[in-house]
């Protein structure tokens, strides 16, 4: 017999007892803080009590992998829910609807179902976290911020979860260029819980966008003990590498790549994307990364199949291009043209194919074509997802392509545009021009 029991943050969970709800809370908190092992913790929760919301969390965690296998696993979990006799209330129903939409490739529908869940209960921390992550995948800048803004008044300072909401809000503020409020919210989140990796990440983005490279290096160095065991740690190390790259400290970048970023040989898309993006940036600055790219391409090749998320495939093109594998680039292009579905298909048709072809052209030294493709789509490239910092690679590649093609007026104009936005990037921008001059 199940009944509604309040979770750690005050939202109702249909469960047979408080112990199972506490176990589910542990899994949700691990997801929100990007720490521990939320997959294993969710399994423990559903083993203790056949929690519908626990099964939905398992499906979400599978979908986060953005792989065909993850989607298939989520579909199986959700199909099995059809045979349960457990009571379903409005919260569970909306989460099931969101997970089913996501697993069917309707990422927008999933986010909207989670928005309804937040209208039902503004203290649904799981809905808030997953909704913002979906908006991140979709490149919905305003929703990244406003999904948190809409529930802020329901979370009082000092109450459980308040700091996590501040960290979520901080990232949304940063992606909307409100750097002062973003920094304040991020620091409030860390004052509440120094191990809130998403809040650390939000502050790293603030330092990146404002060109505060030395401060960024110092901040990530000083806080590393709080986040280095997180399954998101590689991404924070990647942010530190970007600071060193802007400073022209290529040896430090390579040390980070060979150390915490790639030494573990992760096969997760989350980590492979960062590795590919870093090698591509290094290559733009004239650093030889061929051997590293071959290893990375070998790790990515088995993952290239049915397209799930064009953002991943864009980074696969980068790795394959650096490794000298035009055959694999063609596989990615063909798969995306023919086999994309749902929200991903719409993105591929709108901007994704041009982005894939632009980077493929650059890798093939067809720099005029790369320039034409990239300059046309950079203003709408947010649709492929990711952050401003991640998509900055488009502008870097466009500058390099213009320089390589001999279009000095365009290359110089793009550099001036970049420096106007981030004055501390002048030295690295000029270095990029020099590395690609012919």
- Assess whether pLDDT exceeds 80 at residue 138: yes
- Assess whether pLDDT exceeds 70 at residue 79: yes
- Residue 422: Cβ-neighbour burial (10 angstroms; 0-12, 13-18, 19+): middle
Listed in sequence order, the residues at least 6 apart from 335 whose beta carbon sits closer than 8 Å to its beta carbon are 304, 305, 306, 307, 313
- What is the C-alpha to C-alpha distance for residues 403 and 433, in angstroms, rounded to an integer? 6
**pLDDT for res 438:** 61
Q: Which of 193, 190, 214 is nearest to 203 (CA)?
A: 190
**pLDDT for res 87:** 66
- What is the C-alpha to C-alpha distance for residues 136 and 138, in angstroms, rounded to an integer? 5
- Over residues 367-390, the pLDDT tens digits come to 999 999 999 999 999 999 999 999
**pLDDT for res 212:** 97
Q: What is the mean pLDDT of residues 143-150?
A: 98
**pLDDT for res 83:** 58
Fold held by 1-140: 1.25.40
Listed in sequence order, the residues at least 6 apart from 308 whose beta carbon sits closer than 8 Å to its beta carbon are 66, 67, 68, 70, 71, 344
What's the pTM value of the predicted model, to 2 decimals? 0.96
The two structure tokens encoding residue 215: 């401060």
The two structure tokens encoding residue 187: 């620091």
φ/ψ of residue 294, rounded to 5: -60, -45
**pLDDT for res 86:** 56
**pLDDT for res 84:** 58
Q: Which of 366, 427, 363, 437 is nearest to 399 (CA)?
A: 437
Q: How many CA atoms lie within 13 A of 20 on its CB side?
A: 22
The two structure tokens encoding residue 417: 């545009």
Q: How many distinct helices (H) and strands (E) make up the chain?
A: 24, 2
- What is the CB neighbour count within 10 angstroms for residue 295? 15
φ/ψ of residue 178, rounded to 5: -95, 75
DSSP code string of 188-236: HHHHH-TT-HHHHHHHHHHHHHTT-HHHHHHHHHHHHHHHTTSTTHHHH
Residues 143-169 as b/e (b if ≥16 CB within 10 A, e otherwise) read bbbbbbeebeebbeeeebbbbbbbbbb
**pLDDT for res 2:** 73
Q: Which of 229, 290, 222, 257 is nearest to 33 (CA)?
A: 229
**pLDDT for res 88:** 78
The percentage of residues in the chain with a pLDDT greater than 90, rounded to a whole number, is 95
Q: Which of 186, 245, 237, 174 is nearest to 210 (CA)?
A: 174
42 Cα distance to chain centroid: 22
- Over residues 398-415, the pLDDT tens digits come to 999 999 999 999 999 999
Please, which residues bridge with residue 307 across strands? none
Q: What is the mean pLDDT of residues 27-47?
A: 96
Domain residue spans in the chain?
A: 1-140, 265-438
- Over residues 292-326, the pLDDT tens digits come to 999 999 999 999 989 999 999 999 999 999 999 99
- Over residues 81-114, the pLDDT tens digits come to 875 545 678 999 999 999 999 999 999 999 999 9
């Amino acid at each position: 017999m199940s009944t509604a029991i309040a979770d750690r943050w005050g939202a109702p969970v249909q469960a047979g007892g408080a112990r199972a709800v506490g176990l589910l809370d542990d899994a949700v908190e691990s997801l929100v803080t990007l720490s521990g092992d939320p997959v294993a913790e969710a399994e423990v929760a559903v083993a203790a009590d056949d929690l519908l919301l626990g099964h939905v969390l398992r499906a979400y965690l599978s979908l986060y992998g953005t792989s065909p296998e993850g989607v298939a696993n989520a579909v199986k979990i959700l199909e099995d829910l059809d045979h349960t006799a457990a009571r379903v209330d409005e919260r569970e129903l909306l989460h099931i609807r969101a997970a089913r939409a996501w697993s069917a490739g309707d990422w927008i529908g999933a986010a909207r179902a989670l928005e309804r869940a937040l209208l039902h209960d503004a203290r649904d921390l799981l809905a808030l976290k997953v909704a913002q992550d979906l908006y991140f995948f979709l490149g919905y800048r305003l929703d990244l911020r406003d999904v948190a803004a809409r529930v802020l008044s329901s979370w009082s300072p000092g109450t459980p979860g308040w700091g996590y909401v501040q960290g979520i809000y901080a990232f949304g503020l940063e992606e909307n260029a409100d750097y002062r409020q973003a920094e304040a919210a991020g620091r409030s989140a860390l004052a509440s819980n120094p191990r809130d990796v998403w809040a650390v990440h939000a502050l790293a983005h603030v330092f990146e966008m404002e060109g505060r490279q030395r401060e960024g290096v110092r901040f990530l160095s000083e806080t590393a003990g709080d986040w280095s065991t997180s399954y998101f740690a590689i991404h924070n190390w990647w942010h530190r590498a970007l600071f060193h790259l802007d400073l022209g400290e290529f040896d430090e970048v390579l040390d980070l790549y060979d150390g915490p970023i790639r030494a573990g040989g992760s096969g997760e898309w989350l980590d492979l994307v960062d590795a590919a993006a870093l090698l591509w940036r290094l290559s733009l600055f004239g650093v030889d990364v061929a051997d590293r790219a071959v290893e990375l391409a070998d790790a990515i090749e088995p993952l290239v199949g049915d397209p799930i998320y064009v953002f991943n495939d864009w980074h696969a093109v980068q790795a394959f291009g650096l490794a000298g594998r035009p055959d694999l680039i063609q596989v990615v292009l063909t798969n995306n043209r023919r086999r994309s579905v749902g929200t991903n298909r719409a993105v591929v048709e709108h901007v994704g194919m041009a982005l894939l072809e632009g980077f493929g052209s650059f890798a093939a030294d067809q720099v005029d074509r790369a320039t034409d493709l990239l300059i046309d789509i950079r203003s709408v490239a947010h649709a492929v997802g990711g952050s401003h910092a991640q998509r900055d690679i488009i502008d870097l590649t466009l500058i390099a392509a213009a320089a390589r093609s001999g279009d000095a007026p365009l290359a110089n104009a793009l550099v001036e545009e970049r420096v106007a936005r981030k004055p501390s990037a002048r030295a690295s921008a000029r270095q990029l021009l020099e590395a690609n001059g012919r």
